Amino acid sequence: MTDSPTPAARALCDGRVVVVTGAGRGLGRAHALAFAAEGARVVVNDLGVALDGAGASLSPAEEVVAEIRAGGGEAVAHGGDIATTEGAASLVTAALDAFGRLDTLVNNAGFLRDRMLVNLDEDDWDAVMRVHLKGHFLPLRHAAAHWRAEAKAGRRPDARVVNTSSGAGLLGSVGQGNYSAAKAGILGLTLVAAAELAGYGVQVNAIAPAARTRMTEQAFATTMAAPDAPGAFDTMAPENVSPLVVWLGSAASAGVTGRVFEAEGGRITVMDGWRPGPTADLSARWTPTAAGEATRKLLAVAEPPLPAYGAR
Ligand SMILES: NC(=O)c1ccc[n+]([C@@H]2O[C@H](COP(=O)([O-])OP(=O)(O)OC[C@H]3O[C@@H](n4cnc5c(N)ncnc54)[C@H](O)[C@@H]3O)[C@@H](O)[C@H]2O)c1
């Protein structure tokens, strides 16, 4: 027995510095607040664009910083475009200048330009690929260069990256060819980054979230609606996705890398990736007809694919 009080439990992210892109609204805002609540110091990035990527404003990022500070946390705003070299490099510098270190990068920023493929303009393709895929690659690349330099200087990091894919990237989504391709690309990037950066003490995972934000509240109004009954669990609140992101971004997730998780409401699902199904090997070149006959036999015993979102 001792008279000394039990030491207060350490918060999950005490001492860590976390960058969250697109953290002025929606899921990113929820992640930033959740990291701060677990003791992290946070760089709140947001370009403050409209739902289609137009315009710019520092206000959303500054408002989230004010919320974190009002709760007793530490945060700084960053208003750069994460899909530019300047914006991505300055994200890392902002963390180092404000807090002296960088431990976790959450890539989350993005916007939509939904169209059926036959109506999808080249500009809408480029803008969505740029903000999601390049907007993941560039911050990842600059953060990884910093962590590699730390590792080479004998200060091996315990770093984390959480990327944001989507059910659209996993299964495809009708009317979102550009977005689905970008979000599928993020899954490939996650696997490569996890493999390349493991040696430097960096873990890289991805989530496919679903939540009520301006991105979804109109297109999926019924599914996303808040419950009417007082006290009922608000399944689609963006705050429900953040606990997994905070854990993946903390030192507690040691050993977890190169994985993809769906997160929605109270549910967390490990997504199994592509893996070989039924196979046939002729040990010689097929004729097209024989290849077709063999393929039909394989498909007859293979798991049918899950349908794309919105497919009829
Ligand atoms: N809401 C969902 O159900 C859902 C589902 C699957 C995936 N996602 C993904 O989650 C992420 C967050 O989406 P959300 O629903 O919170 O949307 P949101 O529109 O509420 O938030 C996205 C934020 O990113 C910012 N942003 C856009 N372009 C930027 C840029 N170039 N640089 C910096 N900031 C930029 C916007 O200003 C905005 O505040 C996105 O990657 C989205 O594709 C969301």
pLDDT tens digits for range 81-104: 999 999 999 999 999 999 999 999
SS3 233: coil
Q: Which atom of ligand 1 is nearest to the CA of 264?
A: 3
Amino acid at 35: F
Task: Give the mutation target among 49, 85, 165, 269 for probing the ligand 1 site: most ligand atoms within 8 A of CB.
Answer: 49
CB 173 less than 6 A from any atom of ligand 1: no
Asked if residue 239 lies in contact with residue 196, where contact means CB atoms within 8 angstroms, the answer is no
Question: In whole numbers, what is the pLDDT of the chain averaged over residues?
Answer: 96
pLDDT tens figures, 141-200: 999 999 999 999 999 999 999 999 999 999 999 999 999 999 999 999 999 999 999 999
pLDDT at 3: 47
Identify the bridge partners of residue 43 per DSSP, sorted by sequence position.
19, 76
Strand locations in the chain (E): 17-20, 41-45, 75-78, 104-106, 159-164, 202-209, 260-264, 267-270
| Spacing, Cα 88 to ligand 1 middle (Å) | 16
**Smallest CA separation from ligand 1 atom 6, residue:** 166
The answer to whether the Cα torsion of 91, 27, 185, 133 is positive or negative is: negative
Q: Is the CB of 164 under 6 A from ligand 1?
A: yes
Is-contact 204 161, C-beta < 8 A? yes
pLDDT at res. 2: 42
Q: In what order do the strands lie in the sheet with 267-270?
A: 75-78, 41-45, 17-20, 104-106, 159-164, 202-209, 260-264, 267-270
Using the predicted structure, report yes or no on whether residue 202 has a pLDDT greater than 90: yes
Quote the pLDDT of residue 219: 83
Tens-digit pLDDT profile for residues 3-58: 444 556 789 999 999 999 999 999 999 999 999 999 999 999 999 999 999 999 99
- pLDDT at position 7, please? 54
Share of the chain above pLDDT 70, in %: 97
Q: Is the CB of 24 under 6 A from ligand 1?
A: yes
Assess whether pLDDT exceeds 90 at residue 110. yes
* pTM for this entry: 0.96
Render pLDDT for 285-306 as a digit per residue (tens, 0 to 9): 999 999 999 999 999 999 999 9
Which residues participate in catalysis according to the annotation? 166, 179, 183
Does ligand 1 have an atom closer than 6 angstroms to the CB of 48? yes
Atom of ligand 1 nearest to the CA of 135: 31
Check pocket membership of 90 for ligand 1, CB cut-off 6 A.
no
